[in-house]
Structure 1
Amino acid sequence: MNWFAQTFRKVHIIYASPLWAKERGTAFDAEEYADSLAGASVDCVELYTKDHHGICYYPCSLGLTFSHDVVGELLAALRKRDIRLIAYFSVCFDNYALGLHPEWRAVNVWGDPCKVGPFYMACWSSGYMDYALQQIRELAQGYTVDGYWLDIMPYVRNVPQTEWMSNSLPSPCYCFSCQKGYEDETGERLPLLETPDSQVGNPLFGDLSLQQIVGQPFLAHHAEQAYQFLLGKGEAFLTQAMDILRSNNPQALITYNGANSPGDPFDYADLVSIEGHAPLYTRQSFIARWGRATGKPFEILVSAGLPGGPLGGLWCRYDHKPPPLLQMENAISLAHGGSSVLGQFPYPDGSTDPAQYRGYEQVFRPTAEVEPWLRQPQSVSDVGIPLLTKPRTASLFWYLMSEGVENIHQALLDYHYQYDVIRNLDDMESYQLIVLADQAALSDSEIERLKEYVAGGGRLLASGYSSLWDENGRRRDDFGLADLFGVSFRRDPGLPYVSVRLRDEALVDRVTSFPMFAEDAPPVEVSLNGAAALGDLVYPETNRTSGTTVMWGNAPPDEDQAHPGLCRNDYGKGVCWYAAWPLRTGGLSNVWIKRLIKELVSDVLTKPVLTTTAPAGVEVVLNRQDGRHVVHLVNHHIGSPDRPSFDEKNGLVLDNLEIQLDLARLGVESVQRVYAPPQSDLSYRMEGNNLVVQVPPLRAHALIAIE
């Protein structure tokens, strides 16, 4: 295990001082800066060495230079205080270089440059890459740092998605370098693809919709070729950069923004690095569970500044979140064995606000006290959720597959089931239930392994397009798991929504008799092939148009257009449930679908390893660690965007909560001590084989150890 997994108190220093700013660098004092970080219990910093403007904060023969050697001065000061330094470098944003060389910019089919906010995106195929590699070489030769962090590394296939905090590859790019290089490599002209988001004036690049993937294989093939060409250029840059860094500093860690994310087509980085921002706390939890599943150390990049805009944190704000909110976000990572790296935004003159360090101290001092209970945790879970993305060979499907798992995550999180996101199918027998949520692209070996699991007595809940494509993104004639599902694929009906009508009386009693509106969940039309239908998908009488509304509502469900929806199939000694639509759980519009998932899971988990009286919105995580069990409770409510709860007098504190652990399931014969680390004993009682623990008052994070 590398050192990164042993440190939990990190700050991401976004020092940028553009040419127009007043008093650039005049207040920068490395010794004072390092003293402030040490006083706040910081043990590692990630420092900007080159920013998006193209300014280098170290002596460099290329690019814009700065008045201070910020890297050298701060590195020396941090070394005296045993604080590690990771060097950040902005790769594909460099407005100075791309302003001088517009031919280095990524452009769409009309020649419009790819521009994110004020910053141009460099093309992997252009001469800019040699420029950036020389800057990286001089950085590596000049300083012995603990790691390197490369930013703006666009590799992920830009399928339509809600913001996933990954850098999407602007493909196809139609700069001259790409057009010439593509023809040289393939013998064909770069195809002129107009995709949904590539209109004139659109600053970003788009890719194919799910309907285009299913219904227009010719278009999908050419889009895939263009992506793979440009991805190869990006991979060449990454391997060259890593060779330079490793040859000069073999012990340093190397990572990049989005490294080892579900959409990352490579596995080169030494750790998982993914952004996750308030108020998407369930997204942060999902990233943490994914990070743990990779088997690598992981970090979640969290803006300490208050969120700006409708989604995500704004890195470049001087007013920070209140400490309890940062404590909560930090605790989400800690609960899964990772760390949240909190952003810091100094002023362009090099000074910082003392209030920032007071906030960090309130987060990191309590973290330091409980670090022995954080290292190398092993999860204890009842449910496994495979996330089997193949972003290099089946690039179009990574987001569909990730979105399916994230929605199941949202449901299980609120109902406090213990579950893992899993990256392979090797150890499915350790779980009572496997949920295969929209895992569209599966290999033959993965299909056989799933069949083996269920035939041997396993329980599987599957949904949507699972197994309709192979690991190379080739469409199968039928689901690869058709015999396991007990249904066969008929067609994509092309509907944006559908109603789900339960037919099973027990489910109707426990969920609802309403026709459940499944929003943003394109249905899959199937025929029964051995399964029993527990519910139907009911299509609307007609598609919604301006001329076919009922007032402002959709057309009603047409019971004459009912198709199998929720199906149950006995297979060998096990059982498979299949839902013929993507299971969406976010927002009020999906509360009944969320409830349905809960009831299906509870039918399998009759004796869960952990139960609790905590409400939805409190994340509860059970780990096995160093000969004991450790339970984390993280109160997401404290960061509610409209009702933030951080005031000492009237802030929300949850009291009189209990957790109950099945000791027989845990293999624990007796309990010697129950306490809140580091040393506060807690009251508990035994009820048969169950240990019942009184949770201490919960504001942001509570930790319970059982020995």
Structure 2
Amino acid sequence: MSLTRREFGLAGSAGLLGAMVPGAAMSAVRGEKKAKWYETIKRIGQTNLNERDPELGEPAKWAEFWASAKAQAVVLSISGPIAFYPSKVEFFHHSRWLGGRDFTGECIDAARARGLRVIGRMSPDHQWYDEATAAAHPSWFRRLPDGKPVLFDPNVAITCQMSDYFSEQLPAMLREILDRYPLDGMFTNGWPTAQICYCDTCRKIGDPKSAAYKAALDKRTDETLALFRKMFLNKNAAGFFTNSFFGGFGGGDVPWRISRSSSFSACDAQSRPKLEDPVWDGSIDAKIAQSLMRDRPYALVTSGYGSVPGNDWRHISNTTAESLSRMAQTAASGGVVWHHMLGMTQSFSQDQRWQELVKPFFNWLAANDIHFQNKRPLGKVGVVISPGSMEQYKAPAGNERAIAVEGICKMLVENRTAYDFVHANDLGADRLAQYAVLILPNLALMSDAQALSLRQFAQRGGSLISTFETGLYDETGKPRPDFALADIFGIRKTGERQKWNPPAFTPQSMHYQALKGTSPLTDGFGNTTWIAGPLWRVPLAPVADAPATYMPLAPGGPPEMVFANGGPTNEPTVVARQVGRSRLVYFAGDHDASYERADMPDLGRQLANAVRWTLGDDAGLTVTGEGLMEVNAWETQAGFAVHLLNYNAPNALGGRLRKPIPLGAQSVTLTLPSKVKMQRVDLLEAGKSVAFAQDGRTVRFTLPSVGFYEIAALVV
């Protein structure tokens, strides 16, 4: 089902007072440092050229669309397996349909004539493969254990990062391109990657799965990126050169290391990794990028074609609401919206349906640009992530590396709690100052320095929620005798992690938790004395006033035997305590992972109760009403903005999202970081203002309805 311009609710939004004031202009008015062009950019359009585009592609038509869509930059394929201009670099294969044209130059000229900046797309991972190239440069190509090249296509092979393709051929291409064309930025597609290669060069380094090989590959990556960046910035110091990340929690610490020197970041995830993933996967990717870049710009690439890995229709448009939702999630998470289609001829002549979604959305973003020029996020909850720890952690059987974080995200979205990711390598006091609560979802590997930063956060009055094996290993994966933060939480382990192990004759058996009295941690569990237990747990020594304790395995069948054989134990499954202003909750089980895996609401409620109790009166943002909705809040150039993403739609939890069902009234309470007087509250999708009440730093208002993606813009 397609969404029309009217259904998206764009009518009237462009007329809001102040909406047309660009962020850079407002910065100048307020006396702030003038931003670089890419620091305020919010809309990028990409069309990957294919080899046949020089035959029928129309650069003027392509550029005219992106200009009319109010894109601020376009991304153009300039290197990889195909040259779209008459290159003089040997073995840089010219398109067989080029016919002597400078198709690259025509595209750049058409874009610049319409005021569009141009970002070049390099593809270092692919090289044209034929007999002549293979014979002249066999070392360029990544090899399988049997010595055969790794082919992406009969005429395209995957390159080896350790070869002179990266140190000689790519610099020659880049040098020629930069001499010929005025590019505003560049990014590398599909690189860097953690390659596995058995070419002669790599065999001399060692086993491609060894630590020594990884160290050599990391060193090579850093050197190559530095070379490419220097070459580009020597030509255009006002631009940027960056690499792409693939999204998700993979890559270990490589994204963190590389992002230290990046002035702009591009996450090239494009779509949900699996059909069964929840729709808010785009928000997760954008928030990961935010944790890496903080106040530097980060983009999330969204594909406009029908693609989910394993089910790819890359030649045609995706007409569901999926790509539109992903672009909205990017904007709501503070990122740069970057839309991507394949083939100029395909996407501008053969199937143009994607344009019906992109153009209205980009126009709406442009009309309200000042409300997307963010200063800082206002969420009070930080979820600490450590992709490096996930890579090294020997997770229990059946546990995917990121499942604990995914369970926490699911719970926070369902409970409309605004949150950010905080990278475990970035736990300084200044970084953590904005948060009232930090969640540590099975942050198993933890250095002494990280433990100290978290302990100091609690000593300053911050609250912590921790799950399962958090802090039971040092940063190398070596087991600790006890939790790194045992003193903070008041806990002591009495054994190693355990899984429920039902007898073979009754596989439905499970274990449970016995509730102990009433408290904020048991809220919502009326009319029951026991609830579901997680699949894994760490045995703990007894503590006073534990909200819940472990119950032994209870048979699941036959029906006549479905009763508890033993009563509650004194082994805590949850420990909660308050020390000064700091509220501390530890879950002994993998509550977050079990919630993600099994969708047992008891576990989700326990986690949500912990968030509510630790936040107390410092929630920052609350949004009440019916429906599945993700919320974010930002301080902006114009004032403040509350973003509401409506996920109340078929296929939100798997598949491709259909048009969301409009939601009814939603009541919002926002606590401002400082006392400033609001002038009005504008609803950017609905195109109207609503009444509000302000009491000091607290602002309250009600949205009569929420369509697809609403933003309440609080203008100072």
TM-score (norm 2): 0.77
- Provide, for residues 323-362 of structure 1, a one-character-per-residue CA deviation record: whole Å limited to 9, x for no partner: x554432221222322221112225689534444343211
Rounded to whole Å, the distance in 2 between the matches of 1:83 and 1:229 is 39
| Aligned residue runs from structure 1 range 39-118, under 5 A | 39-51=68-80, 54-60=81-87, 61=89, 62-66=91-95, 67=98, 68-94=101-127, 96=129, 104-107=140-143
| Aligned residue runs from structure 1 range 652-671, under 5 A | 652-662=661-671, 666-668=673-675, 670-671=677-678
Indicate the residue corresponding to 2:645 in structure 1. 634
Determine whether 1:510 maps to 2:513: no
Which of 245, 248, 270 is the matching residue for 2:263?
Answer: 270
Rounded to whole Å, the distance in 2 between the matches of 1:320 and 1:453 is 45
Determine whether 1:4 maps to 2:38: yes
SS at match of 1:257: strand
**Distance 1:349-1:10 versus aligned 2 partners, 3 A rule:** closer
Indicate the residue corresponding to 2:18 in structure 1. none
Shift in Å, 1:419: 2.3
Rounded to whole Å, the distance in 1 between the matches of 2:221 and 2:229 is 12
Aligned letter for 1:181? I
**Distance 1:70-1:586 versus aligned 2 partners, 3 A rule:** farther
Does the CA-based 8 Å contact 1:517-1:589 persist in structure 2?
Answer: no
**Distance 1:492-1:615 versus aligned 2 partners, 3 A rule:** farther
**Distance 1:365-1:610 versus aligned 2 partners, 3 A rule:** same
Indicate the residue corresponding to 1:30 in structure 2. 59
Which of 599, 609, 612 is the matching residue for 2:623?
Answer: 612
Indicate the residue corresponding to 2:195 in structure 1. 170
- Which range is displaced more, 349-358 or 334-343? 349-358
Shift in Å, 1:564: 4.2
Indicate the residue corresponding to 2:709 in structure 1. 701
Rounded to whole Å, the distance in 2 between the matches of 1:350 and 1:411 is 38
- Provide, for residues 24-44 of structure 1, a one-character-per-residue CA deviation record: whole Å limited to 9, x for no partner: 522122223212222222221
Does the CA-based 8 Å contact 1:567-1:578 persist in structure 2?
Answer: yes
Shift in Å, 1:286: 1.7
Indicate the residue corresponding to 1:405 in structure 2. 405
Determine whether 1:528 maps to 2:541: yes
Aligned letter for 1:266? I
Indicate the residue corresponding to 1:452 in structure 2. 456
Shift in Å, 1:621: 1.6
Does the CA-based 8 Å contact 1:489-1:525 persist in structure 2?
Answer: yes
Aligned letter for 2:416? H
Aligned residue pairs: how many? 627
Shift in Å, 1:369: 0.8
Does the CA-based 8 Å contact 1:638-1:700 persist in structure 2?
Answer: no
Indicate the residue corresponding to 2:380 in structure 1. 382
Indicate the residue corresponding to 2:17 in structure 1. none
Does the CA-based 8 Å contact 2:577-2:585 persist in structure 1?
Answer: yes
**Distance 1:509-1:40 versus aligned 2 partners, 3 A rule:** closer
**Distance 1:439-1:691 versus aligned 2 partners, 3 A rule:** same
Indicate the residue corresponding to 1:227 in structure 2. 214
Which of 271, 284, 287 is the matching residue for 2:285?
Answer: 287
Shift in Å, 1:561: 11
Does the CA-based 8 Å contact 2:442-2:467 persist in structure 1?
Answer: yes
Shift in Å, 1:316: 2.2
Rounded to whole Å, the distance in 2 between the matches of 1:291 and 1:422 is 10
Report which structure shows greater RCO (CA 8 Å, sep ≥6): 2
Indicate the residue corresponding to 2:29 in structure 1. none
Rounded to whole Å, the distance in 1 between the matches of 2:318 and 2:262 is 30
Which of 574, 580, 587 is the matching residue for 2:588?
Answer: 580
What are structure 1's unaligned runs of at least 5 residues? 156-168, 183-189, 194-222, 543-548
Rounded to whole Å, the distance in 2 between the matches of 1:341 and 1:104 is 31
Does the CA-based 8 Å contact 1:395-1:473 persist in structure 2?
Answer: no
What are structure 2's unaligned runs of at least 5 residues? 1-34, 502-509
Does the CA-based 8 Å contact 1:524-1:581 persist in structure 2?
Answer: yes
Shift in Å, 1:503: 3.3
Rounded to whole Å, the distance in 2 between the matches of 1:5 and 1:538 is 54
Aligned letter for 1:5? E
Does the CA-based 8 Å contact 1:401-1:440 persist in structure 2?
Answer: no
Indicate the residue corresponding to 2:228 in structure 1. 241
Aligned letter for 1:289? K
**Distance 1:120-1:464 versus aligned 2 partners, 3 A rule:** farther
Indicate the residue corresponding to 1:483 in structure 2. 487
Rounded to whole Å, the distance in 1 between the matches of 2:93 and 2:551 is 62
Shift in Å, 1:617: 2.6
Rounded to whole Å, the distance in 2 between the matches of 1:103 and 1:561 is 65
Indicate the residue corresponding to 2:205 in structure 1. 181
Rounded to whole Å, the distance in 1 between the matches of 2:331 and 2:531 is 41
TM-score (norm 1): 0.78
- Provide, for residues 674-698 of structure 1, a one-character-per-residue CA deviation record: whole Å limited to 9, x for no partner: 2224995433354977644232542
SS at match of 2:306: coil
Rounded to whole Å, the distance in 1 between the matches of 2:172 and 2:673 is 55
Does the CA-based 8 Å contact 1:401-1:438 persist in structure 2?
Answer: no
Determine whether 1:501 maps to 2:517: no
Shift in Å, 1:374: 0.9
Rounded to whole Å, the distance in 2 between the matches of 1:473 and 1:704 is 45
- Provide, for residues 20-64 of structure 1, a one-character-per-residue CA deviation record: whole Å limited to 9, x for no partner: x6xx5221222232122222222211112235xx21223332221
Rounded to whole Å, the distance in 1 between the matches of 2:405 and 2:77 is 34
Aligned letter for 1:594? G
Indicate the residue corresponding to 1:153 in structure 2. 191
- Which range is displaced more, 359-368 or 506-515? 506-515
Rounded to whole Å, the distance in 2 between the matches of 1:112 and 1:565 is 53
Aligned letter for 2:116? I
**Distance 1:149-1:457 versus aligned 2 partners, 3 A rule:** closer
Indicate the residue corresponding to 1:334 in structure 2. 331
| Aligned residue runs from structure 1 range 409-488, under 5 A | 409-423=409-423, 424-425=426-427, 426-427=429-430, 428-488=432-492
- Provide, for residues 285-332 of structure 1, a one-character-per-residue CA deviation record: whole Å limited to 9, x for no partner: 122223333222011111111334568xx582322335x554432221
- Provide, for residues 361-406 of structure 1, a one-character-per-residue CA deviation record: whole Å limited to 9, x for no partner: 1111111110011102422122222234558xx9525998855434
Which of 235, 244, 249 is the matching residue for 1:257?
Answer: 244
Rounded to whole Å, the distance in 1 between the matches of 2:160 and 2:314 is 25
- Provide, for residues 213-242 of structure 1, a one-character-per-residue CA deviation record: whole Å limited to 9, x for no partner: xxxxxxxxxx43332233323333323322
Rounded to whole Å, the distance in 2 between the matches of 1:176 and 1:488 is 52
| Aligned residue runs from structure 1 range 193-212, under 5 A | none
Rounded to whole Å, the distance in 1 between the matches of 2:401 and 2:565 is 30
Rounded to whole Å, the distance in 2 between the matches of 1:541 and 1:103 is 61
Does the CA-based 8 Å contact 2:511-2:533 persist in structure 1?
Answer: yes
SS at match of 1:469: coil
Determine whether 1:602 maps to 2:612: yes
Rounded to whole Å, the distance in 2 between the matches of 1:374 and 1:559 is 57
Rounded to whole Å, the distance in 1 between the matches of 2:394 and 2:107 is 40
Does the CA-based 8 Å contact 2:140-2:164 persist in structure 1?
Answer: yes
**Distance 1:104-1:473 versus aligned 2 partners, 3 A rule:** farther
Determine whether 1:683 maps to 2:690: yes
Aligned letter for 1:277? S
Determine whether 1:126 maps to 2:163: yes
Aligned letter for 2:470? S
Rounded to whole Å, the distance in 2 between the matches of 1:3 and 1:669 is 29
Indicate the residue corresponding to 2:306 in structure 1. 306
Does the CA-based 8 Å contact 1:486-1:528 persist in structure 2?
Answer: no
**Distance 1:259-1:4 versus aligned 2 partners, 3 A rule:** farther
**Distance 1:513-1:147 versus aligned 2 partners, 3 A rule:** farther
Does the CA-based 8 Å contact 2:522-2:547 persist in structure 1?
Answer: no
- Provide, for residues 132-174 of structure 1, a one-character-per-residue CA deviation record: whole Å limited to 9, x for no partner: 333233223322201111012144xxxxxxxxxxxxx134x43
